[in-house]
Structure 1
Amino acid sequence: MLKTPIARGVALATLGATLAMPSMVQAAFIEDTKAGLELRNFYMNRDFRHTPSGGKNKADEWAQGFLLRIESGYTEGTVGFGVDALGLLGVKLDSSPDRSGTGILPVGDSGEVPDDYSQLGLTAKAKISKSILKVGTLQPKNMAVATSDSRLLPATMRGAQLVSNEIDGLTLDAGYFDRFNDRNSTNDQDITINNAGKGITGAREADEFIYLGGTYKITNDLSASYYYSNLEDNYKQHAVNLIHVLPISEGQSLKTDLRYQRSTDDGNTNVDNKALGAMVTYSLSGHSFGIGYQKMSGDTGFAYVGGGIDPYLVNYVQIGDFANPDEKSWQARYDFNFASIGIPGLTFMTRYITGDNFERAGVSEGKEWERDTDIGYTFQEGALKNLNVKWRNATFRSNGAGADYNENRLIVSYTIPLM
């Protein structure tokens, strides 16, 4: 149902191409359409401490984001067609050349930040049975590639993705991408590899990134995943993942997450990495206690797509990925959901990660650590119902090259349902 005049306008603009269709064909297309406008206010401060980055002692910016998401239904028939739209607008509230560079706003050559930036992404989609093909602006999230949404606006990629659930318990996933748009950019760019601190040489811009994989639910408690990916001329990667959740008693469980990735070069780089990760989490009545271990081996660090992409690593956290050559790292994590004591909407997380055994410039052995704390609250009722407020704090220290960080992020978000 169209609830507001704004919703009706959005629907007409997005669905106008279907007006020539018979009304029966349009019915599901329109009735199943969903639209929402997220208002995201983002403040970020990163203090570089005693190691200025780019001549700056800190990066400090504040901005307002508008994220319009429209997902149509499908036309009726053997093959159903639809269209999605993603409209993104970022507006500068506070920044200056001596404080820019947080990643929430674009930065010019002189350090200047524009007053606003925007992007419009359209996606065509087709559905046959339980298989969906999408072509256009996408935000894939899987073991091979996961676009990040940890700043004012999300990163996106241009290409095609096919997801199939024809076999019960089995999800197949394939993708092809040729362009990438970072979280603080308005321009599609060539896809690159992340080689920061990874010892990777010969990296070049790629014309395409492809992946093929899937997840099979072996039992109700055990699932297995495998993905193959290739960033042209940069790397090839095989990745496997096993996740098991052992129910112990009411409100009590033990989750085991095992990951292994093997990355090799694709003709132009020296990529050679084996990444082993494991995370065990014990949950009890709102409390969760986790222990993680991650080990890199081979001639280079972990290979993954550069820019606003989140690698599928146990110890990839707010600032660091702990994926340097030969690095070993441990994580201790604690979560608490206050709903268990009668305060729904309030959550807390803290974790500590320490890594060592890797080479850094000027030191015999690299060492680094990070401490993160997240506190979030979603209002449950009243005029502010569904308004979410989150504070994210991080401290990062390293004895090698690169900056030490003290970082704070304050995010206030609210989604207005339009359809």
Structure 2
Amino acid sequence: MYKSSLALAVALGVLAQQAGAAGFVEDSKLSLSSRTMYFNNDNRDVQENAQGRNGDQREVGQGFKLDYLSGFTEGTVGFGVDVQALWGIHLDGGRGRHPDNNNFFPSDTDGSAVSQWARIGGNAKARFSKTEAHFGSALAPNLPILVSNDGRLLPQTFEGGTIQSKEIDNLTINAGQLTHAMGRASSNRTGLSVAGATQDSNKFRYGGLDYKVTKDLTLQYYYSNLEDFYKQHFLGLTHVYQIAADQSFKTDLRYFDSSSDGKNGQAGYQFSNNGGYAKKTGEVDNKTWSAMFTYTLGGHALMLGHQQVGDDGGFVWLNQGNVVDGNGRNEGAGGSSFYLFTDSMINQFARAGENTTFGQYSYDFASLGVPGLKASVAYLRGDDIKNARTSGTYNEWERDARVDYVIQEGTFKGLGASLRHGIYRGSGEAGADMDQTRLIFNYTYNFL
């Protein structure tokens, strides 16, 4: 991270001279977040190997995240800086229960989990009117074409530059270029890639806008390009119809069109979404649409939807899980998210030809006088999956349940607990059966 660290150091030097300026210090925020997590992944179809591993994973870890967000200096253009420090500690889970894939914890040379790992990053930022620019290595985009993953102890972050403008009323414009990713189980940075590829790219460009037509209707368009891998267009529509004060109906429509770019398809640049079928081997060629409808009444919310992945190839998104270092070891950059309703607890339901119908029921117990307590159950069923290795189609399903509670007052106000359990089953070449349980405790203390 030499370049970004140097840029951050220069920015800190300049800002140190203006640290007394109104806004830079007064608007600063400093917080420490703690996450304790028990992770149990039971691979039910995997037999024990000679090393005593059977694919099962049972581990406990402690994560800390320190965030400092400055305000902006005075003047026509205001400057500031953000700094983030991350530290992960392995608490329990022997070698036999730690798969050597760097997915939850980084692996040591003998395949066991390391005792701890850490990284630090930061962003220099500038603000002019209603436009902000950020440059550094602690970026965490949450956009239709890129969603930063935060599903384990530490969050995934990216290096590069972003800009967001709200100069025009009801219109938000986003653009940027990213060069590297820092995985949720790694102290290192890697280039950017896709599932199945061993080569990477240092140029992911994107641009898009969110237009609020009315207070209830939002339209979106985004374009992104991962050099030598893919180009992607996104269209989105969100509408909320307020039936009554405690009753609403939400429509959410999403469409992606992805195609090959540059070296995609060549050795090292081939895309393979879970071994899925591709009309042109290793190349990105996909159209995916999804629709979700949610009816809310008081504390009840019922969601139903359907998703269709095109027959020519699987859905594509940034995924560095196959990138290795100079010694051929996994870099720990695995773990990625994407902007589809089927990005569930265990599986993605995003393979070639897959038709997925899904539903979820959730309840907010605040309606019964227990604020902070929420529960939900979800079910997804995917059919017509194509696979590159065999003829025919396959199916898969997943059932997820979770309970979340955040203490609302008293000494432990803000302490949250989340219990999640998922069951995945697939037929034929669809995938290995899994049962997964996560127990998470989160707490954030704000110093400023």
1:68–1:355 distance in 2 versus 1, CA, 3 Å: same
In the TM superposition, what whole-angstrom CA distance separates every residue of 1:209-264 from its partner, at most 9, and x where no partner exists? 11100100001110000100011100000001000000001200000000000000
1:203–1:106 Cα change, 3 Å: closer
1:245 corresponds to which of 240, 246, 254: 240
Matches within 5 A, 1:270-349: 270-306=283-319, 307-349=334-376
Given that residues 63 and 104 in structure 1 are in contact (C-alpha distance below 8 angstroms), is that contact kept between their aligned partners in structure 2?
no
Verify the 8 A CA contact 1:252 1:285 in the aligned structure 2: yes
Is 1:20 paired with 2:17?
A: yes
Report if the CA contact (8 A) 1:288-1:336 is conserved.
yes
Quote the sequence identity (%). 39
- Out of 382, 404, 418, the position equivalent to 2:433 is 404
1:384 alignment partner, SS class: coil
Cα separation, 1, equivalents of 2:370 and 2:349 = 35
Using the TM superposition, name which of 406-415 and 45-54 deviates more: 45-54
In the aligned structure 2, how far is the partner of 1:364 from the partner of 1:21?
A: 66
Deviations 1:303-348 (A, max 9, x none): 1100332111121111111110010001010011000110000001
2:174 aligns with: 173
**Equivalent-residue separation in structure 1 for 2:439 and 2:292 (angstroms):** 28
Q: Secondary structure at the match of 1:237?
A: strand
CA displacement at 1:100 relative to structure 2: 1.2
Cα distance change of structure 1 residues 187 and 52 upon mapping to structure 2, 3 Å threshold: farther
Structure-2 change in CA distance of 1:111 and 1:227 (3 Å)? same
SS in 2 for 1:339: helix
Structure 2 CA distance for partners of 1:242 and 1:296, relative to 1, 3 Å:
same
Asked if structure 1 preserves the Cα contact closer than 8 Å seen for 2:181 and 2:192, the reply is: yes
Match of 1:393 among 409, 421, 434: 421
Q: Secondary structure of 2:143's match?
A: coil
Shift of 1:51: 2.9
Letter in 2 for 1:273: N
- Would the aligned equivalents of 1:180 and 1:191 in 2 still touch at CA under 8 Å? yes
The alpha-carbon deviation at position 15 of structure 1 amounts to 6.9
Aligned pairs (5 A) from 1:13-412: 18-21=15-18, 23=20, 26-52=21-47, 55-101=53-99, 103-137=103-137, 138-195=139-196, 204-267=199-262, 268-269=264-265, 270-306=283-319, 307-360=334-387, 361-362=389-390, 364-401=392-429, 402-412=431-441
Deviation at 1:87, TM superposition (A): 0.6
- Give the superposition deviation at 1:412: 0.3
Instruction: Judge conservation of contact 2:15–2:80 (CA < 8 Å) in 1.
Output: no
Paired amino acid for 2:17: A
AA partner of residue 172 (structure 1): I
What secondary structure does 2:346 align onto?
Answer: coil
Q: Check the 8 A contact 1:334/1:349 in 2, yes or no.
A: yes
Ranges of 4+ aligned residues in structure 1 off by more than 6 Å: none
Any idea what SS the aligned residue of 2:436 has? Answer: strand
* Residues 176, 208 of structure 1: 8 Å contact kept: yes
Asked if the contact 1:346/1:376 (under 8 Å) is kept, the reply is yes
Distance 1:218 1:272 in 2: 32
Q: Distance in 2 between matches of 1:283 and 1:29?
A: 42
Task: Deviation per CA, 1:368-417: give whole Å up to 9, x if none.
Answer: 00011110100112222110000011111111343211000000011111
Q: CA deviation at 1:122?
A: 0.9
Residues 57 and 129 of structure 1: is their aligned pair in 2 closer, same or farther, counting only changes over 3 Å?
A: same
Instruction: Quote the Cα distance in structure 1 between the aligned partners of 2:348 and 2:48.
Output: 19
List runs of 5+ in structure 2 lacking aligned partners. 1-10, 266-282, 320-333
Q: Which moved more, 1:266-275 or 1:230-239?
A: 266-275
3-state SS, counterpart of residue 340 of structure 1: helix
Equivalent pair of 1:98/1:111 in contact (CA under 8 Å)? no
Residue of structure 2 equivalent to 1:10:
none
Contact 2:95 2:112 in 1 (8 A): yes
Question: What is the count of residue pairs matched by the alignment?
Answer: 398
Deviation, 1:114, is: 1.1
CA distance in 2, matches of 1:172, 1:19: 31
Look up the equivalent residue of 2:386 and give its one-letter code: E
Q: Give the letter aligned to residue 371 of structure 2.
A: P
Q: Deviations over 1:20-66 (max 9, x none)?
A: 2384xx22100000110001101100000123598524111100011
Measure, in 1, the Cα distance between the counterparts of 2:402 and 2:64.
23
Q: Distance in 2 between matches of 1:16 and 1:339?
A: 48
8 Å Cα contact 1:227/1:240 also seen in 2:
yes
